[in-house]
C-alpha cells in the first residue's frame, strides 16, 4: 500500500478524532491549570502544628511585645500582643517583616574570617573554637603590651545585660572605650541631667497629654517607641491637639491638627519665642515655677531680652501672631507636652534645642506627672558586684576615653561615637587596635561615610557580632555571628521615650537556624579564657544563667508575663524629684546658660557654591537604623520616593522651575561631602531651595531588594559637633541640585 499525503492527512484526522475520545486532552488541560495555579516554585508555608511564642521585638528601640507564630518549624508571622503595655496589639511594618529577616539570605551563617581585602567579600569559614582563640590571643597580646585601652566596643545600646557584660569586660580588661549609638535620647539624658540634676532617661506620657507640640519629632515616623506613639497620636485625634513644627510637610505634619512651617534649624529659637510669650503674658504655671524651680529670673531675662515674637519671626520665618497664638494655646491646654528630636531622632541635634523645649514643659509645669515629661531614673536592674581590677585594668581605665567624653571638654557626655572618626583620622588621640561591633552598622549610619570608612581602615583588627552581612561587617576581620532576635533569649531595656521603666524579655521562637552563638555567651567565654580578675568578674557559666541571676526576683515575673514593669514614676513622685544642688528644677545654671548660648556652625558648606539645603527625613517604610529594610518594606515604598534604583528628592515647584527640572526627571545632587544621582519629586511640602531625601536607602550591603537602591544620606552629610555636648548637632547640609 502506498502511503500518500491523503493517507497521512487521514491518519492525522483519525489521530485527532481518536485523541478526543481519550482522556488525554481533558486531563492535560486539568493538570496544566493546576500547575499554573500552584507554581511549584512559590514558597508555601509548612503544614505543621501552629504554635505561638511570646517575645519582644528587638529591631528598634520600640520594645514592642510580639507573638511569633510558627507552622511546624517555620516562623510564619509576627503579631503584636494585645495586652502588652507598650504596643497594645500593634506592630510596625518592620516588626511584621521580622520573618523575612530570619530567613534572609544576608544572614551570617557561621563564624567567618576575612581572607580578601576589606570589603572585598572573601571569607573563610572558621570554627568557633579557632575564632575565639584568635580574639583571645589578640586581647592577651595587647594587654601584655600595656595597650588594654586600645580595645573598644561599639554597641547598639548601653543598657541591657549584653551591652553591660561587654562594658564590664572592657572595664576589668582595662579599657574605658565602650560606645553606644548616639541619638536624641543622649541629648534628652543630658538635658535632664542639667535641669533635673539626675541621670535619667526621658519618658513622654503622650497618651495622657492633650496638646502635643512637636518640634520636628516624627510622631508617626518612628520617634520614640513607634507603635506607642502611633497609638497616642490616634488618641489625640479625638481628645486633643497635635501641632507639628517642621520645615517639611512630613506625614506627621500632614496628620497633625496644625503644621507650622519653620526655617530649618531654628526650632530652638521658636521654643524660646514661645517661652517669651508665656512668661510675658504670665501664662506659666506659677506653682511649679515658684515652688519647684530655681533660675527662673535668669531664664526670664534671657527670653524676654532676646526672643520677642518679632525677633523670633525674623529668625524662624514663623509670623509673630502665629507665635503668640501658639504660645497661648500651648499654655492654656490642660496637659501640654513639648517634644523634640528631629524625625526618628537618629542624629542627636543641638543640645540647646532640647533645653529650650524642655523649659517649655517646665513653664507649664508638665513635668513628672501624668501626661507630661517624666524623668525615669536610671534603672538599677543590673547590680553586679564591683569587679576587682588589677594594675593593668586600673592604668587602662585612667587613660580616659579616646572620644573625650567625660573629659573637661565634654564633662557631661558619656559616649561620643561621632567623634571617633576624627580622632582616628587625625591621629590626635590614642589609636584603637581592636574594635568590637555589635548591633550597629556605623559605616552606614554614621555621618560622613568616607571619614568613617577611613577611620575603620586605621583599626587593625575588627570583630563583628553581626547577624547580617551589613556594610560594617563587610569591613570586619572576623565575624562571630549572633543569633538574630527571634532566636535568642535576652532582656530588652525600656523602650525609647516610654513613660515607665519596663523590661521586656525576648525569647527564642525558634532554635538557631545556623551555626551562630549568643553574643552574651561569647563575651562570657572570652572573659573566662582571659583568666585572672577578668574571669572572676564573670561568675556565670553561661549567658542564660547570668540573665536569670541578674534579674533576680524580677525573673519570675518577666518569664511569666514577658515583661516587668517598674513602679509608676509619674504620679506618686509629682514635682519633688529633682537632684540638683537646690533640689529644684533649674531653669538656669552656668552649664545650661553656656549650652543655650552655644551655636554650632551649621549648616556646613558655603551658600554660593551650594545654594540649596539638603534635609533628611524618616519614614516607617524604610528602616534607617543598623538593620537594612527587608523586601516587604522596600516594596511598600511609594513611587514618589523610589523608582527602580532611583531615589526621588523632594523639591519645591519654584526651585524646580528655576532649575528647569520636571517631575520625575534625573538630577545631580552635590554636597561638600559627596554627590549622587537622584530624580526630583516636585512638591509644595518643602520650602524653595530645600531638597529632602529619605534616610535608609543607598545600602551597598544586604540583598538585591535593597542594595544599590537610592542614596545614603549619611554619605552626603558631615558631622558638626555641638560645642557643649560634643554630639552631632547636624540637621542638614548645603547642597547644589542641578540638571543631570
Partner 1 sequence: MSTIDDQTTADVPQTPEDENGHPKHDPAPAADSNAPVMLSFIIGIVISLIIGWAVFPKLLYSQKTQPVNFNHAMHMDPEISAEGCASCHYFREDGSFSGIPKLASCAECHEDVLGESEEEARFVEEYVKTGKEVPWLVYARQPDCVFFSHIAHVKMGNMECKTCHGDIGVSTQTRVYEENRITGYSRDIWGKNIAGFKKNTWDRMKMDDCAECHKANNVNQGSVQTLRGGCFVCHK
User: Which of partner 1, ligand SF4, none binds 60 (CB below 5-8 Å, type-dependent)?
Assistant: ligand SF4
User: Which of partner 1, ligand SF4, none binds 7 (CB below 5-8 Å, type-dependent)?
Assistant: partner 1
Q: Do 361 and 308 form a contact (C-beta atoms < 8 A)?
A: no
Strands 478-479, 502-506: parallel, antiparallel or unpaired by DSSP?
A: unpaired
Query: Cα(665)–Cα(688) distance, rounded to whole angstroms?
Result: 18
User: Which of partner 1, ligand SF4, none binds 337 (CB below 5-8 Å, type-dependent)?
Assistant: none
DSSP code at position 378: P
Closest CA to 713 of 249, 347, 248, 183: 347
Q: Which is nearer to ligand SF4, 95 or 732 (CB)?
A: 95
Q: Which is nearer to partner 1, 47 or 115 (CB)?
A: 47
User: Which of ligand SF4, partner 1, none binds 115 (CB below 5-8 Å, type-dependent)?
Assistant: none
Query: Residue 292 belongs to what H/E stretch?
Result: helix 286-292
Q: Which is nearer to partner 1, 31 or 597 (CB)?
A: 31
User: Which of partner 1, ligand SF4, none binds 63 (CB below 5-8 Å, type-dependent)?
Assistant: ligand SF4
Least distance (Å) between residue 514 CB and partner 1: 18
Q: Which is nearer to ligand SF4, 61 or 603 (CB)?
A: 61
Least distance (Å) between residue 52 CB and partner 1: 10
Residues 6 or more apart whose CB falls under 8 angstroms from that of 204 comprise 224, 337, 339, 373, 374, 497, 498, 499
Least distance (Å) between residue 11 CB and partner 1: 4
Least distance (Å) between residue 60 CB and ligand SF4: 3
Strands 690-694, 646-651: parallel, antiparallel or unpaired by DSSP?
A: antiparallel
Q: Which is nearer to partner 1, 74 or 528 (CB)?
A: 74
Least distance (Å) between residue 517 CB and partner 1: 21
Query: Cα(265)–Cα(318) distance, rounded to whole angstroms?
Result: 13
3-state SS, 451-510, equals HHHHHHHCCCEEEECCCECCHHHHCCCEECCCCCHHHCCEEECCCCCCCCCEEEEECCCC
User: Which of partner 1, ligand SF4, none binds 92 (CB below 5-8 Å, type-dependent)?
Assistant: ligand SF4
Q: Which is nearer to partner 1, 45 or 688 (CB)?
A: 45
Least distance (Å) between residue 737 CB and partner 1: 49
Q: Do 243 and 275 form a contact (C-beta atoms < 8 A)?
A: no
Least distance (Å) between residue 42 CB and partner 1: 8
User: Which of partner 1, ligand SF4, none binds 139 (CB below 5-8 Å, type-dependent)?
Assistant: none
Q: Which is nearer to ligand SF4, 221 or 589 (CB)?
A: 221
User: Which of ligand SF4, partner 1, none binds 59 (CB below 5-8 Å, type-dependent)?
Assistant: ligand SF4
Residues 6 or more apart whose CB falls under 8 angstroms from that of 35 comprise none
Residues that bind ligand SF4 (CB under 6 A): 57, 59-60, 62-64, 87, 91-92, 94-95, 226-227
User: Which of partner 1, ligand SF4, none binds 34 (CB below 5-8 Å, type-dependent)?
Assistant: partner 1
Residues 6 or more apart whose CB falls under 8 angstroms from that of 325 comprise none
Q: Which residue is it, cell 520650602?
A: 687
User: Which of ligand SF4, partner 1, none binds 8 (CB below 5-8 Å, type-dependent)?
Assistant: partner 1
Query: Residue 671 belongs to what H/E stretch?
Result: strand 666-671
Least distance (Å) between residue 227 CB and ligand SF4: 5
3-state SS class at 561: helix
User: Which of ligand SF4, partner 1, none binds 17 (CB below 5-8 Å, type-dependent)?
Assistant: partner 1
Least distance (Å) between residue 157 CB and ligand SF4: 13
Residue whose beta carbon is closest to ligand SF4? 95
Least distance (Å) between residue 190 CB and partner 1: 51
Least distance (Å) between residue 37 CB and partner 1: 5
Residues 6 or more apart whose CB falls under 8 angstroms from that of 49 comprise 71, 72
Closest CA to 152 of 396, 498, 507: 396
Query: Cα(441)–Cα(699) distance, rounded to whole angstroms?
Result: 11
Q: Which is nearer to ligand SF4, 95 or 698 (CB)?
A: 95
User: Which of ligand SF4, partner 1, none binds 290 (CB below 5-8 Å, type-dependent)?
Assistant: none
Tell whether the torsion through CA atoms of 700, 648, 447 and 728 is positive or negative. Answer: negative
Least distance (Å) between residue 44 CB and partner 1: 5
Least distance (Å) between residue 106 CB and ligand SF4: 18
User: Which of ligand SF4, partner 1, none binds 24 (CB below 5-8 Å, type-dependent)?
Assistant: partner 1
User: Which of partner 1, ligand SF4, none binds 38 (CB below 5-8 Å, type-dependent)?
Assistant: partner 1
Q: Which is nearer to ligand SF4, 220 or 475 (CB)?
A: 220
User: Which of partner 1, ligand SF4, none binds 226 (CB below 5-8 Å, type-dependent)?
Assistant: ligand SF4
Half-sphere exposure of 50 (CA within 13 A, CB side): 6
Query: Cα(259)–Cα(461) distance, rounded to whole angstroms?
Result: 49
Q: Which is nearer to ligand SF4, 361 or 441 (CB)?
A: 441
What's the distance, Cα to Cα, between the start and end of the chain in Å? 78
Least distance (Å) between residue 342 CB and ligand SF4: 18
Q: Which residue is it, cell 532676646?
A: 306
Write out the three cell numbers for 26. 481533558
Residues that bind partner 1 (CB under 8 A): 1-4, 6-8, 10-19, 21-24, 26-28, 30-32, 34-35, 37-38, 40, 42, 44, 47-50
Q: Which is nearer to ligand SF4, 185 or 227 (CB)?
A: 227
Query: Residue 691 belongs to what H/E stretch?
Result: strand 690-694
Query: Cα(195)–Cα(202) distance, rounded to whole angstroms?
Result: 12
Q: Which is nearer to ligand SF4, 266 or 344 (CB)?
A: 344
Least distance (Å) between residue 487 CB and ligand SF4: 16
- The total number of residues written for the chain in this structure: 740
Q: Which is nearer to ligand SF4, 63 or 732 (CB)?
A: 63
b/e map of 683-705 (b: 16 or more CB within 10 Å)?
A: bebbbebbbbbbbbbbbbbbbeb
Q: Which is nearer to ligand SF4, 94 or 192 (CB)?
A: 94
Residues 6 or more apart whose CB falls under 8 angstroms from that of 260 comprise 243, 244, 245, 246, 270, 318, 322, 326
Write out the three cell numbers for 382. 543590673
Q: Which is nearer to partner 1, 2 or 115 (CB)?
A: 2
Amino acid at each position: 500500500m502506498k502511503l500518500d499525503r491523503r493517507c497521512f492527512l487521514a491518519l492525522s484526522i483519525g489521530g485527532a478524532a481518536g485523541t478526543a475520545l481519550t482522556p488525554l486532552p481533558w486531563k492535560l488541560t486539568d493538570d496544566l491549570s493546576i500547575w499554573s495555579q500552584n507554581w511549584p516554585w512559590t514558597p508555601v508555608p509548612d503544614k505543621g502544628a501552629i504554635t505561638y511564642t511570646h517575645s519582644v521585638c528587638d529591631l528598634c528601640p520600640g520594645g514592642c511585645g510580639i507573638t511569633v507564630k510558627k507552622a511546624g518549624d517555620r516562623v510564619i508571622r509576627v503579631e503584636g500582643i494585645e495586652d502588652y503595655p507598650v504596643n497594645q496589639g500593634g506592630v510596625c511594618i518592620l516588626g511584621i517583616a521580622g520573618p523575612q529577616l530570619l530567613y534572609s539570605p544576608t544572614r551570617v551563617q557561621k563564624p567567618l574570617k576575612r581572607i580578601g581585602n576589606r570589603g572585598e567579600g572573601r571569607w573563610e569559614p572558621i570554627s568557633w573554637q579557632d575564632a575565639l582563640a584568635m580574639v583571645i590571643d589578640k586581647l592577651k597580646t595587647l594587654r601584655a603590651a600595656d595597650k588594654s585601652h586600645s580595645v573598644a566596643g561599639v554597641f547598639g545600646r548601653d543598657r541591657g545585660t549584653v551591652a553591660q557584660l561587654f562594658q564590664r569586660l572592657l572595664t576589668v580588661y582595662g579599657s574605658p572605650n565602650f560606645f553606644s549609638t548616639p541619638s536624641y535620647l543622649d541629648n534628652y539624658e543630658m538635658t535632664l541631667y542639667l535641669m533635673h540634676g539626675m541621670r535619667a532617661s526621658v519618658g513622654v506620657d503622650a497618651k495622657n497629654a492633650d496638646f502635643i507640640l512637636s518640634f520636628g519629632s516624627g510622631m508617626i515616623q518612628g520617634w520614640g517607641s513607634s507603635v506607642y506613639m502611633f497609638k497616642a497620636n490616634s488618641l489625640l485625634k479625638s481628645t486633643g491637639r497635635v501641632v507639628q513644627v517642621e520645615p517639611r510637610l512630613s506625614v506627621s505634619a500632614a496628620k497633625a491638627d496644625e503644621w507650622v512651617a519653620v526655617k530649618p534649624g531654628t526650632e530652638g529659637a521658636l521654643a524660646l519665642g514661645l517661652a517669651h510669650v508665656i512668661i510675658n503674658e504670665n501664662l506659666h504655671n506659677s506653682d511649679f515655677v515658684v515652688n519647684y524651680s530655681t533660675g527662673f529670673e535668669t531664664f526670664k531675662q534671657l527670653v524676654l531680652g532676646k526672643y520677642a515674637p518679632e525677633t523670633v519671626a525674623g529668625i524662624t520665618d514663623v509670623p509673630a501672631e502665629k507665635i503668640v497664638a501658639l504660645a497661648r494655646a500651648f499654655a492654656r491646654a490642660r496637659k501640654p507636652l513639648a517634644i523634640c528630636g528631629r524625625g526618628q531622632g537618629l542624629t542627636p541635634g543641638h543640645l540647646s534645642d532640647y533645653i529650650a523645649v524642655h523649659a517649655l514643659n517646665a513653664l507649664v509645669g508638665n513635668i513628672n506627672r501624668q501626661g507630661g515629661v517624666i524623668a525615669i531614673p536610671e534603672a538599677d536592674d543590673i547590680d553586679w558586684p564591683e569587679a576587682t581590677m588589677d594594675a593593668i585594668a586600673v592604668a587602662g581605665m585612667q587613660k580616659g576615653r579616646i572620644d573625650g567624653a567625660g573629659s573637661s571638654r565634654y564633662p557631661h557626655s558619656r559616649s561620643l561615637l561621632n567623634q571617633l572618626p576624627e580622632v582616628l583620622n587625625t591621629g590626635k588621640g590614642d589609636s584603637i587596635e581592636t574594635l568590637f561591633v555589635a548591633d550597629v552598622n556605623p559605616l552606614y549610619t554614621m555621618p560622613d561615610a568616607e571619614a568613617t570608612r577611613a577611620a575603620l581602615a586605621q583599626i587593625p583588627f575588627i570583630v563583628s557580632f553581626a547577624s547580617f552581612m551589613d556594610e560594617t561587617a563587610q569591613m570586619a576581620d572576623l565575624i562571630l555571628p549572633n543569633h538574630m532576635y527571634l532566636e535568642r533569649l535576652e532582656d530588652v531595656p525600656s523602650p525609647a521615650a516610654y513613660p515607665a521603666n519596663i523590661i521586656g524579655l525576648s525569647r527564642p521562637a525558634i532554635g538557631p537556624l545556623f551555626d551562630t552563638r549568643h553574643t552574651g555567651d561569647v563575651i562570657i567565654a572570652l572573659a573566662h579564657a582571659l583568666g585572672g580578675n577578668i574571669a572572676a568578674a564573670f561568675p556565670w557559666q553561661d549567658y542564660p544563667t547570668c540573665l536569670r541571676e541578674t534579674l533576680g526576683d524580677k525573673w519570675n515575673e518577666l518569664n511569666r508575663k514577658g515583661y516587668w514593669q517598674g513602679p509608676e514614676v509619674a504620679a506618686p513622685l509629682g514635682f519633688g524629684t529633682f537632684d540638683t544642688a537646690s533640689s529644684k528644677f533649674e531653669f538656669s545654671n552656668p552649664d545650661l546658660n553656656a549650652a543655650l548660648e552655644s551655636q554650632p556652625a551649621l549648616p556646613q558648606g558655603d551658600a554660593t557654591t551650594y545654594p540649596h539645603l539638603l534635609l533628611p527625613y524618616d519614614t516607617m517604610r524604610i528602616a534607617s537604623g543598623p538593620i537594612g529594610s527587608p523586601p516587604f518594606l522596600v516594596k511598600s515604598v511609594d513611587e514618589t520616593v523610589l523608582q527602580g534604583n532611583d531615589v526621588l528628592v523632594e523639591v519645591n515647584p519654584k526651585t524646580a522651575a528655576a532649575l528647569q527640572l520636571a517631575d520625575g526627571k534625573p538630577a545631580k545632587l552635590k554636597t561638600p561631602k559627596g554627590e549622587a544621582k537622584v530624580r526630583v519629586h516636585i512638591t509644595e511640602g518643602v520650602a524653595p531651595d530645600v531638597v529632602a531625601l529619605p534616610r535608609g536607602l543607598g545600602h551597598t550591603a544586604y540583598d538585591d531588594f535593597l542594595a544599590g537602591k537610592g542614596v545614603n544620606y549619611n554619605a552626603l552629610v558631615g558631622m558638626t559637633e555641638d560645642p557643649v555636648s560634643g554630639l552631632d548637632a547636624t540637621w542638614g547640609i548645603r547642597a547644589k541640585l542641578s540638571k543631570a
